[in-house]
Amino acid sequence: MKARIQNIRSLSATIKHITLAPDAEDSFPAGAAGAFILLEIPGPGRVWKNAYSLVSGAGRRQYEIIVRRVAQSRGGSAWLHDHAEPGQLLEISGPANLFPIARAAQKHLLLSAGIGITPFLSYLPVLQRQNAAFELHHCCKLDEQEVFRPLLPKAPNITLHGSRNSLDLMTLLSAQKLNTHLYVCGPEAFMDVTIAAAKRIGWPDAKIHEESFGGATGGASFIVKLARSAMELHVAEDQTLLEALEDAGLAPPRMCRGGACGVCELPVLGGLPDHHDHYLSAAARAAGKSIMTCVSRAKTPELVLDF
């Protein structure tokens, strides 16, 4: 659907708050806490499709997102920072939600780093309205605390940490009662460390929820051979495998574009995948028999996919 950029506000040199309004309709579809939308971002000769969490709760008159300019941006976040202006029309998807609040939880432990705070901004009004037991720990650089602090309610159960090292993960995770659910969102390294720590002390998978915000950052180019389609494609340095498939006119499965939902998984027949997703288990990664095309690349010059 079409959305018009209504307002752009700089929160820092690298973080912008963007408000979108419906173009033709009166309202957008409602998005529950944790939902994201896809923005189609125009670039020279191509269109980027980036996922952003809705930070505006269940409001339907407008969608609000927060966009960090990614240092090694392939183009999407850079365009939103450098070229987006109020009044412009963008194509967006309706909200999807891979990171909802778990209804069965007796307590919610929210851990985020950097721009990973964004899904929790839609959680907070809901948890507070429900009078739910929760703790939020957000890790960010000292100079970004002033960006994030005004976005968060002042409450004893909401803590900003100046770095990831100042959050004592093991103590925090070990102190939680049974039936606490853990939610993790942030850069790949933060998520890997946090989830590994939780699993090491016995948190069951069913009580760990994650949302990845690393997205795809590009990498070395490689060739992908499609066994069923009898095609051979070049995946450029600034292109994802999923984008290469789409640009070739194919319709590969996809949803979140962030390595979280598992929808884009394709079987690997040859070559070694370079996994960047948060969906496959450690055993599945090691086996190398499938790949998440939205974020993962190749360790070998060629990959052969059953597609």
For the chain, the residue count is: 307
Binding piece for ligand FES, criterion CB under 6 A, among 18-26, 124-132, 155-163, 255-263: 255-263
- Figure out which of the listed residues 43, 262, 274, 285 binds ligand FES, where binding follows CB under 6 A: 262
Using CB under 6 A as the binding rule, whether residue 264 contacts ligand FES is answered as yes
Task: List binders of ligand FES among 273-292 (CB under 6 A).
Answer: 277, 279, 292
3-state class of 175 per DSSP?
A: coil
Q: Is 259 in the site for ligand FES (CB under 6 A)?
A: yes
Interface segment toward ligand FES; rule CB under 6 A; list 109-117, 120-128, 135-143, 256-264? 256-264
CA distances from 222 to 49, 79, 194, 215, 235 (A): 21, 25, 31, 19, 5
CB 167 within 8 A of CB 183: no
- Interacting stretch for ligand FES, rule CB under 6 A, among 152-160, 183-191, 225-233, 251-259? 251-259
Which of 84, 158, 197, 255 is close enough to bind ligand FES by CB under 6 A?
Answer: 255
Helices (H), the chain: 76-82, 118-129, 142-148, 169-174, 188-200, 241-247, 282-287
Neighbours of 45 (CB within 10 A): 6
Q: Which is nearer to ligand FES, 134 or 279 (CB)?
A: 279
Residue 22 or 259 with smaller CB distance to ligand FES = 259
Q: Near ligand FES by CB under 6 A, which window of 63-71, 88-96, 178-186, 261-269?
A: 261-269
Residue from 257, 246, 279 nearest 290 by CA: 279
Residue 82, classified by CB atoms within 10 Å of its CB into exposed (0-12), middle (13-18) or buried (19+), is exposed
Residues that bind ligand FES (CB under 6 A): 254-257, 259-264, 277, 279, 292, 294
